[in-house]
Structure 1
Amino acid sequence: MADTKFEGWLGKDEKSVEGKMEWGQFKPKRWTEDDVDIEISHCGICGSDLHVLKSGWSPTPYPCVVGHEIIGKAVRVGKNVSHIKEGSRVGVGAQARSCLQKDCPDCSQGLENHCHRESINTYGSVYPGNEGKSYGGYATHNRTNGHFVLNIPEGLDSADAAPMLCGGVTVFSPLKQNDCGPGKTVGIVGVGGLGHFGVLFAKALGADKVVGISRKADKKDDVLKLGADQYIATDGDKDWAKYNAQTLDLIVCTVSSHQMPLDGYLALLKTKGTFIQVGAPDGGKLPEINAFTLLAGGIKVGGSAIGSPAEIDEMLKLAADQKVKPWIQKRKMKDANQAVLDMVDGKARYRYVLEN
């Protein structure tokens, strides 16, 4: 397997997001016995891919192969990896490595996704030393540290499982961490690729009431079909914040706009309610929050980033058990440029998955 040729869609500059990725060979990170090589069958398209292709969050170390919702077959397994067997169906999410040290305040508690010492993304990161760069899943193969490679449960279709590895766990994690379940009313702001998973997993976790919240009314029928109990269109429903005030225990916000009506969202929370931001805007800017809004309501505002390997594993098992079925559209890997353009144009309903 040492001679495996790694090929993929290379973004070479900021214009690559305009459908200008180029297919070519790339050199994966230097092999270690902690790694797993995966022959890729499926890769979801995530909004993060667009941000990185255009250097939206920070300068991208081009060339870059994006894609961090990877499903495939383990074709080479390092000697130090015990939970993955050659030939197994496996997946990789948005993280490729953390420090994994026993004295790490994050990794030692199963919070690898928050590791402050070393956080290597599945693509667009430069490894320390001379290990090379991380390359993602718009490709034939992927190489990732075995700790972040997971077995996929038998009950899950590969195309359905792929977008769960980032999009799914990004909302599953804050729902689980904030006790979404029976007796809770939950709002999901922004019902797109991430938000539609929010509705699905809030219902799968047993929330009493799930409310989809988006700007326009055109997604209402879709969101109710996904299992939501109510829909709020902030551009169309008059006095929506006043009419629905103090009705939600928890809000997970997937929107990445610094112009979103944040005060209105916070008004929907019950006293002592919680608002968790997962959408990541270019530049990191969010609307200002009035301190008295927090003080009067005893509201907690926080953030959440992807999920740990253990949370991904738990989510996949729940999805298999509860038969969680995301709304996906399959696209051929060879058509990745057009799929990216369609994603930029907001045409996905609600997640594109590339197939090799």
Structure 2
Amino acid sequence: MEVIGYGTQDASIDLGPLKFTREPVRAGEIAIQITHCGVCHSDLHQARDDWENTVYPCIPGHEIIGEVIEVGEGVSRFKVGDRAGVGCMVNSCQQCDQCDVGDEQYCTGPKSCTLTYNGPKKPDGTNSYGGYSTGIVVREEFALTIPEKFTSEHAAPILCAGVTTYAPMKYFGLGDGHTLAVAGLGGLGHMAVQIGKALGAKVIALTTSPEKADALKEIGADEIVDVNDDDAMEKHAMSVDLMVNTIPYAHDINPYLQLMKAKSQICVVGNFLGFEELDTATMVFNHVGITGSLIGGVAATQEVLDLCAEHDIRAVTKSIRMDEIGEAFQRMLDENIEFRHVIDMASLRDDDDAAAKAVQVDNPVRGEVVGRA
């Protein structure tokens, strides 16, 4: 499959058109013509090598929706013409203890899981290219069924933003009678508010932008707390059972510790850059844990898709053309975003100028789609 993508070959270069070839479909695999792809903050981090692990060329995108255009021998869950999704992974060993319980993101195989772009989670120099492209090939075990209720634009963000926030809620048993706090109210956070409500929790939205209060109430937040308002923070001290912290950069987490009940958890899902200091005294005396969670397994991704369909949960989205990705990245950098950007991939597929200017790059390594025989 000849493919046009948008990516970069260096942290200092803006994304632009690249071309490469996806390998032919094999047994157990499906080929998808991508119609939509969500834009995640991690796409920006990875393209700019903020985590110092990027394998170039980098073609981001892991919130992929498209149409199945070919199926390999033995495929049973999809047929040509079906709509399918691909989230953050395209492969894992499928044999280790973590894979066996549906947590492929924590695969302990030789290369760990293979991410939809940037190759194995433990980088070894090989690469995979993501959804900022016109097509992808993936094993059917890593493809998702998209509920008919969703438009493709609204389904795409659930494949990362949805499952990333749902996974810790599921793990810690969030439900009726619990209080969930959400810190960071961008693409992930606004999904967390809605999912927490669907699971039966009271939801507190923690923000530094109180002007967002009406919009946050519209999506289900029970209370909005301005983190910079000391009185409001004191009023909510020791009231939270679980906090999902989606803030994607290093920040002072200590004020949030004051909100947590005894034996509660703050789950970090967005910040890979660490915290300079931790108020360990509060953690010890109140038995508050700070934990982390990475995306979610394939089964959890399907669960949250179905949950969102059942409860009519929608991401707040803004459709963009592929050539507007630089502006979308800048809005994320400026923290000027109240929605999830979703790329309409027809804008790339029909862009003759992009095809003409596309730079040839190496084909992604075949291992991106290898799974259990």
Tell me the TM-score normalized by structure 2.
0.86
**Higher mean displacement: 181-190 or 33-42:** 33-42
1:161-204 Cα distance to aligned partner (Å, 9 max, x none)? 00110011100111121112111111001111110011010011
SS at match of 1:264: helix
**Whole-angstrom distance in 1 between the partners of 2:120 and 2:263:** 41
Confirm whether residue 335 of structure 1 aligns to residue 329 of structure 2: no
C-alpha contact (below 8 Å) 2:41/2:248 kept by paired residues: no
The alignment of Structure 1 onto Structure 2 pairs a total of residues equal to: 342
Instruction: In structure 2, give the amino acid aligned to 1:9.
Output: Y
**Whole-angstrom distance in 2 between the partners of 1:127 and 1:288:** 27
Instruction: In structure 2, give the amino acid aligned to 1:268.
Output: L
**Whole-angstrom distance in 1 between the partners of 2:141 and 2:116:** 13
**Higher mean displacement: 251-260 or 63-72:** 251-260
Which of 65, 76, 100 is residue 108 of structure 1 equivalent to? 100
How much has 1:300 moved relative to structure 2?
2.5
**Whole-angstrom distance in 2 between the partners of 1:320 and 1:194:** 17
**Whole-angstrom distance in 2 between the partners of 1:80 and 1:60:** 34
Which of 315, 331, 341 is residue 326 of structure 1 equivalent to? 315
Unaligned runs of 5+ in 2: 347-373
**Whole-angstrom distance in 1 between the partners of 2:50 and 2:19:** 25
SS at match of 1:325: coil
C-alpha contact (below 8 Å) 1:190/1:214 kept by paired residues: yes
C-alpha contact (below 8 Å) 1:30/1:131 kept by paired residues: no
**Whole-angstrom distance in 2 between the partners of 1:294 and 1:52:** 32
Partner of 2:224: 231
How much has 1:280 moved relative to structure 2?
2.4
Partner of 1:267: 258
1:93-120 Cα distance to aligned partner (Å, 9 max, x none)? 111111101xx12011111111122211
C-alpha contact (below 8 Å) 1:29/1:132 kept by paired residues: no
Instruction: In structure 2, give the amino acid aligned to 1:115.
Output: C
Identity %: 35
**Higher mean displacement: 219-228 or 316-325:** 219-228
How much has 1:291 moved relative to structure 2?
2.9
Which of 244, 247, 255 is residue 236 of structure 2 equivalent to? 244
How much has 1:11 moved relative to structure 2?
1.0
Change (3 A) 1:73 1:246: same
Alignment of 1:129-278 (within 5 A): 133-207=127-201, 209-235=202-228, 237-260=229-252, 262-278=253-269
Change (3 A) 1:58 1:32: farther
Unaligned runs of 5+ in 1: none
After the TM superposition, list the runs of 4 or more consecutive aligned residues in structure 1 that deviate by more than 4 angstroms: none
How much has 1:353 moved relative to structure 2?
0.4
Confirm whether residue 311 of structure 1 aligns to residue 303 of structure 2: no
**Higher mean displacement: 289-298 or 33-42:** 289-298
Instruction: In structure 2, give the amino acid aligned to 1:223.
Output: L
Which of 6, 10, 20 is residue 13 of structure 1 equivalent to? 10
How much has 1:292 moved relative to structure 2?
2.4
**Whole-angstrom distance in 2 between the partners of 1:91 and 1:156:** 12
1:233-274 Cα distance to aligned partner (Å, 9 max, x none)? 112x124432211111111101133332x2221111111111
1:188-225 Cα distance to aligned partner (Å, 9 max, x none)? 01111110011010011111x10000223232222111
How much has 1:317 moved relative to structure 2?
0.7
Instruction: In structure 1, give the amino acid aligned to 2:132.
Output: Y
**Higher mean displacement: 29-38 or 312-321:** 29-38
Change (3 A) 1:264 1:347: closer
How much has 1:155 moved relative to structure 2?
1.0
**Whole-angstrom distance in 1 between the partners of 2:138 and 2:286:** 44
SS at match of 2:117: coil
SS at match of 2:12: helix
